[in-house]
Structures are given as C-alpha cells and as structure tokens.
Amino acid sequence: MRMSVPVYFCLIFATALVLFTFALNPDPSFLLITLPMLAVFAGIPIILNIMNRRQAESVDMESFKLYSIKDLSRLNPGAPVRLRGKVEAMSLKWLNRPHFRINDGSGRIGVMLFTAAQEDIKPGDTIEAAGTLRNFGKSGQKKVFGVRVVKLSS
C-alpha cells in the first residue's frame, strides 16, 4: 500500500503549512481542527489504493481471451484482451499508475495500469496483462488499459 510521490509532496507541504501557522499563533484549537484534516488528507489516497488493489485482485485473468499483439489490430476498441510479453520499458511507477511497453515477439504495445501491480515489475520481466483495448491520443494508437498484471518470470 503505497502513496504516489505527488501525494507525499502535498502531505508534506500541508503539514509544513499547519506547523508554520501553529508556530505563528500557538492556538491548540487550531491543531484540533487541522490534525484530523491531515489524517483524512493522508488516508484518502491509501483507502483508494486499497480499493483499487482489491478490485484488481478480484479480476479473473482466465475470463480474458489471450491474444498476440499482432492480432490486436483487427479488434475494436473496448475489447477485453489478455497478453503475455516481456517488459521493454516502464514509466510513471512513481505515480502509482505504471505504464509498461511489452513485446511478445509479434509486436509491441503499451499497457497502462490504474493501480500499482502487487509484484515489483521491472524491464526484462515477463508479465501477463488483462484489460481493455483502447485508442490513445490523436494518432489512434492502440493501448491496453490494464485492470490486472501478473509477473510470470524475471
């Protein structure tokens, strides 16, 4: 259960503002109001992360049909897909919304997750990803909006 880097920055900034304000005017009633607010401010991202992980873990990977990346061009956006491939690159891990570029030997495609995977996935690992096929950006490039990723091997 991790928070993203922007959440940590916002929480540190809000805490610094509370401490600075309290140092200027040491009123205990101010802390009685702001400390619970800081707790809620920290708790909401953690709760949302837990909910997203539970939802991802409840997804049955076998209910998604396995495709090779080259076969995805004939599918319509919104089609549920499952892919296996090697992670070539990844980004946005610091945001808890990792994006993977995977290659299965027949092609490459991006997989965008909405919650961090349970395992620590790095480039070079073989993964299985399930999600829906989507057109991305003005170019209409296809990507998979992943609901679950499982690490198969390192």
Predicted pLDDT of residue 5: 84
Q: Residue 2's CB: how many other CB atoms inside 10 A?
A: 13
pLDDT at 87: 94
| Top-confidence range, 1-15, 52-66, 74-88, 133-147 | 74-88
Is a pLDDT exceeding 80 seen at residue 9?
A: yes
Q: How many residues does the chain have?
A: 154
Q: In which domain, by residue range, is 45 found?
A: 5-57
Same domain, 106 and 145: yes
Listed residue (106, 143, 150) closest to 129, CA to CA = 150
Q: Which residues of 76-95 are buried (b: 16+ CB within 10 A; e: fewer)?
A: eeebebbbbbbbeebeebee
Confidence at residue 59, expressed as pLDDT on a 0 to 100 scale: 85
Question: Residue 95 has what pLDDT?
Answer: 76
pLDDT in tens, 93-152: 777 788 999 999 999 999 998 887 778 888 999 999 999 999 887 877 889 988 888 888
- In this structure, are 65 and 49 located in the same domain? no
How many independent structural domains does the chain possess?
Answer: 2
Give the model's pLDDT for residue 28: 92
Rg (CA), the chain: 20
- Domain match, 48 and 120 both: no
pLDDT score, position 101: 94
**Pick from 78-82, 83-87, 145-149: least confident:** 145-149
Are both 124 and 53 inside the same structural domain?
no
| Distances in whole angstroms, Cα of residue 11 to Cα of each of 4, 6, 20, 153 | 11, 9, 14, 36
Structure tokens at 7: 């959440």
Could you tell me if 115 and 89 lie in one domain?
yes
C-alpha dist (Å) from residue 16 to 19, 23, 24, 109: 5, 10, 12, 42
For the residues 25-34, what does the mean pLDDT come to?
Answer: 93
Q: In DSSP terms, which residues pair with 129 in a beta bridge?
A: 83, 149
> Tell me, what's the pLDDT at 55?
85
pLDDT at position 80 is 93
Q: Are 139 and 65 found together in one domain?
A: yes
Domain match, 96 and 148 both = yes
